[in-house]
Amino acid sequence: MITKKKYRKSFLKKFGLGFPKIATKNVVWIHAVSVGETKAVVPLAKELKKDHSIHLLVTSGTETGHATAIQELPFADSHAYLPLDFFYIIRPIVKKIQPSLLLISETDLWFSLQKSAKEYGAKIVLVNGKISERSTSRLKKVPFFSRSLFDTIDYFCVQGEIYKSRFLSLGIASSKIVVTGNLKIMPPPSLINRETWRRRLGISQDTVVLTCGSTHASEEIALLDLVEDIPNVKILLVPRHPDRFDKVAALLEKKGISYSRFTKNSASLARVTLVDKMGILNICYSLSDIAFVGGTLTKKVGGHNLIEPCFFGVPVLYGPHIHAQPDLFELLTKFEAGAPLAQLRELLISSQKRKCIGKNGLKLTREYALALPKTISTISLLFEKSYPDKIGALPRDGAVVSSLGS
């Protein structure tokens, strides 16, 4: 791990060095391993922080995740890297903090962390939960370990029915599983000044804007090749990981492709702009006519958040590999809010088709942006059953609470 540049900053902190010292006892600990998991819990963290008596601790597993947490969750009281999951490292930290509530985003479960938190009285909830078919199969082969891992969790707030069925197959009681929906289907931040951002990104008035978001190695060039002979197209390349910014730039230069870099503030009208800055993907989506979601041309990845562009009425394009986002892909297909990458040229030409698919995406987001109140209600119910004075200001949704036991 220490040999990789992107892990050097966090190496010693993985052993618990410099972990925040927290005096208060009313600690809510949110763990989100990387960028996607962190972004998913932002609205949830904001709601929890409305109770000012809470000390909000956010831990990350990667350096990009940590940077995202600091940027997206500046209101958190403490930020840290999650130490290595060895009892002799994690248990003393948990003993000192003794969190009231541990929230784990999506799939990053850690036996020692969960066992220690439970030992010192914490309630544990998996939020925006999911589990892959591969992980399910593996855990079935080690039932003793999986049972020990899952028994510490009070509620599983899962993204969809497919994940509920997988957790059920692992022996988890149905009463502990709540289908809350996907926290990533959340309204974007406040509106931006479109003209200012168009100038900053070098977008002229007569171009069709294609954002290629969260891209991985080999995806950028594959996408550029598809539109090479189509005029009046502005491409915004937004690599998934910041350590690839320079690599993508070098690749563009090697291919002789004219481009500008966002951080150079050149407002260039070059055909391609490399967005080499974290945290502005949604801004790029909001300025787009079409959006391609990365990771879908890469079998190892299997796709990222397919719904983000829908909030801006932007049609979504994807490659053949969407196995990491089955629930989001199902919604996208159900509402006809996206299309395979093979339809890129057709969408670039037809503004009417872009408009139609974009409207479908807006309809999707209006109908399915309910994960936050359902998740909050589940947590509220948990504390009502145990010690209601602990987190008294949590928002409540009576309709959701009353349905949890059904």
| 204 and 275 housed in the same domain | yes
Concatenated DSSP letters of 46-115? HHHTTSTT-EEEEEESSHHHHHHHHHH-TT-SEEEEPPPS-HHHHHHHHHHH--SEEEEETT---HHHHH
* Domain membership of residue 357 as a residue range: 194-367
Do both 309 and 383 map to the same domain?
A: no
- On whether both 157 and 203 belong to a single domain, the answer is no
Q: What is the pTM of this model?
A: 0.81
**Domain co-membership, 229 together with 117:** no
Number of domains in the chain: 2
55 and 24 in contact (C-beta within 8 Å)?
A: yes
Task: Please indicate, yes or no, whether residues 386 and 339 belong to a single structural domain of this protein.
Answer: no
CATH code of the domain in which 239 resides:
3.40.50.2000
Q: Is residue 226 domain-shared with residue 107, that is, in the same domain?
A: no
Which residue among 37, 63, 72, 219 is the active-site one?
37
Q: Is residue 308 annotated as a catalytic residue, yes or no?
A: no
Q: Which residues contact 134 (CB under 8 A, 6 or more apart)?
A: none
- 374 and 363 both lie in a single domain: no
Q: Are 88 and 179 in the same domain?
A: yes
Residue 311: burial class (beta carbons within 10 Å; 0-12, 13-18, 19+): buried
In a shared domain, residues 132 and 148: yes
* Beta strand pairing call for 272-274 and 290-293: unpaired
| CATH code for the domain of 93 | 3.40.50.11720
pLDDT per residue, tens digit, the chain (406 aa), is 444 555 566 788 899 888 999 988 899 999 999 999 999 999 999 999 999 899 999 999 999 999 999 999 999 999 999 999 999 999 999 999 999 999 999 999 999 999 999 999 999 999 999 999 999 999 999 999 999 999 999 999 999 999 999 999 999 999 999 999 999 898 776 678 888 999 889 898 889 999 999 999 999 999 999 999 999 999 999 999 999 999 999 999 999 999 999 998 766 779 999 999 998 999 999 999 999 999 999 999 999 999 999 999 999 999 999 999 998 999 999 999 999 999 999 999 999 999 999 999 999 999 888 899 999 999 998 876 554 444 444 444 433 332 233 2
Examine the domain organization and report whether 201 and 147 are in the same domain.
Answer: no
Residues 271 and 125 placed together within one structural domain of the fold? no
Q: Tokens 């050149």 appear where?
A: 266
Task: Say yes or no: 208 and 108 in one domain.
Answer: no
